[in-house]
Amino acid sequence: LEGQPLQTLMLTDSESEKNKWVVALSELHRILKRNNLPNTAIFKVKEILDNTFNVRNVLCGQIVDQDRVLLGTESDGLYCVELDRCEIVKIGESKKIYEIWFVNEEQLLIILCGKHRAVRLLPIRALEASDVEWIKVMDSKYCITACWGLIRRQPQNAFCFVLALKKPSGGSQIVVFEINRNKARHHKICEFTVPYHVQSLQILSDMRLAVGHQSGFTAYILEGEAHAMRKSFLNLICED
């Protein structure tokens, strides 16, 4: 850890062998210090929770920036961990948080939460101001999973989020919402039904929606009417 000594125990068979190791490691340390080699570590470990803080059953997490991490819990709701100040702040009500997505370009959080697995939107400024309201996404109950991504590049970049909802009659309903700057921060642009249980969603670089299901996935175009959205079916067998 940066700024902290690292201790490693070594077992030797004799006192002379121990002395050899001490001399060798001391010489290595001297060479490294003399050459002033740059720190090439690609990550730094930092503990953000220990047993002194009463946060239990963390279900998900989301990195906001280099100083903030969000934690979603089973019964205590959403927490923001301030790494630079070593503080943990509770955000909003105590509801079950299943998953969190962060749309950095829109400064917006997409949160799957509550006993009915509904979706809420939360502007990122809620991490600093307590009066920011959670925005309900209507008809989002029983959400299986979600994703977000770029939906349009002209005349300027536009982003959307996609929900997969469980249907009582079987299959799944997929709903696409465009993110905007209005008070509700979203509006529905299309929806369609698929005859299978959705397992995953991903918006690809070519702005197609990949819908994962058992034994494969199907790709759809996000723009256009629901009946014209099917682009192609890729029958890829997924081996266990």
What does the block give as tokens for 99?
């998953």
Q: Hey, which residues does 113 pair with through a beta bridge?
A: 97, 118
Cis, bond preceding 155 (omega within 30 deg of 0): yes
Determine the pLDDT at residue 114: 94
pLDDT in tens, 127-171: 988 889 999 999 999 999 999 999 888 888 999 999 999 998 889
Cα 231 from chain centroid?
A: 27
Band the pLDDT of 23: cuts 50, 70, 90. very high
Long-range (24+ apart) CB contacts under 8 A made by 173-181 are: 174/198, 174/201, 174/209, 174/211, 174/220, 175/139, 175/140, 176/151, 176/209, 176/222, 177/137, 178/151, 179/103, 179/106, 179/108, 179/148
Span of 44-53, 102-111, 123-132, 138-147 with lowest mean pLDDT: 44-53
Percentage of the chain beyond pLDDT 90 is 55
Identify which has the larger pLDDT, 33 or 111: 111
Percentage of the chain beyond pLDDT 70 is 87
Determine the pLDDT at residue 6: 67
Determine the Cα–Cα distance for residues 119 and 134; give it in Å rounded to an integer: 10
User: Could you give the C-alpha distances from 45 to 1, 11, 14, 86, 238, in angstroms and in order?
Assistant: 6, 27, 35, 14, 35
Span of 82-86, 93-97, 119-123, 171-175 with lowest mean pLDDT: 82-86
> Torsions phi, psi of 144, nearest 5?
-80, -50
Quote the mean pLDDT of the chain: 85
The model carries a pTM of 0.75
Residue 223 has pLDDT above 80, yes or no: no
